[in-house]
Amino acid sequence: MKRRNKRLKGDIAFARSKVAYKKTLKELNHLKGDSNNKNPKEFYKYLSTILKKYVGDKLNQCGGAYTSEDVKQKLSEKNIDNNILNSISCILQKCERTQYGNLKMVHNERLKSMEEARTIVK
């Protein structure tokens, strides 16, 4: 335990990777509680940001500027399972279509997207 704590303090990449899951779940729970109050564009923008930050934390990079294709490419370089790659890419593309297009999402679709994100993060 002592060695792990020392590594958490000294190795930023390790620390970011280890706290990414808990941090992401906390943000997803916050988003879920606030999902009724946000319009679809805001909701999917925040969901996209959460997922990109998670990937960035896991890879020790700045994930906020990634596109869905960037995320897919970065994760495929790390030999991540294709099912996970396709799932995260699909969610991020849905987020982009809702933010920048005219795609309308009802509340049930938002909850479904959040649950998909939650399973990807596991």
Locate tokens 């649950």: which residue? 115
Cα-based torsion angle of the residue sequence 63, 21, 30, 69 in order, rounded to the nearest 10 degrees: 30
Structure tokens at 5: 């704590």
The model's pTM: 0.84
Query: What are the backbone angles phi and psi of residue 29, rounded to the nearest 5°?
Result: -65, -40
Say which amino acid occupies 59. L
Q: 68-114 pLDDT, tens per residue?
A: 888 888 888 888 888 888 899 899 988 888 888 776 767 788 888 88
